[in-house]
Amino acid sequence: MKIMHKEHTLTKNQQIIFDLIDKSPEPLKAYSILHNVQKKGIKAPLQVYRVLDKLIEIGKIHKIESRNAFIACHNSSCQVAKATAFSICEMCEKVTEISSAGLSKYLANFKDKDGMKYSKYNLEFFGLCKKCRT
């Protein structure tokens, strides 16, 4: 059964910032985004943060909490906005979104001591990527 999602038509600012993040091979920081879009008329931090908040809300991007950086979602968009997992290389800072059915199933069904389940989670794995291990 296919879950339907509302299509969010991005506004001008949202599109500019999303494109930038989406094209980036690495997570971008808010002020780096700001510097990159100033020529397009987005001049103030708040304009960037507002767009980032919105893009996160609709699942187009995720925040890498341990790095204060933002990355485009590559897991069939917004479906996993509330259940995110990443691997982070501590050497080169490469970040990859993990899409593992097993992992997301395990975490979605995880119950704590009191039997409580959680609707939302963020998991960050740290280590050395293939390249940096050699």
Partner DNA sequence: TTTAGATTGTTATAATATAACACCATGTAA
Partner DNA sequence: TTACATGGTGTTATATTATAACAATCTAAA
Contacts with DNA, residue ranges (CB under 7 A): 11-14, 29-32, 41-47, 49-51, 53-54, 68
> What is the torsion angle, in degrees rounded to the nearest 10, for the CA atoms of residue 8, residue 56, residue 122 and residue 94?
110
Residue 34 is encoded by which pair of tokens? 């700001």
45: partner contacted, choices a copy of itself, DNA, none (Cβ within 5-8 A by kind): DNA
Alpha-carbon separation of residue 4 from 76, 94, 132 (angstroms): 12, 32, 40
12: partner contacted, choices a copy of itself, DNA, none (Cβ within 5-8 A by kind): DNA
Stretch that binds a copy of itself, among 1-9, 22-30, 31-39, 123-131 (CB under 8 A): 123-131
Q: What is the smallest separation between the CB atom of 134 and DNA, expressed in angstroms?
A: 27
38: partner contacted, choices DNA, a copy of itself, none (Cβ within 5-8 A by kind): none
Q: What is the smallest separation between the CB atom of 73 and a copy of itself, expressed in angstroms?
A: 17
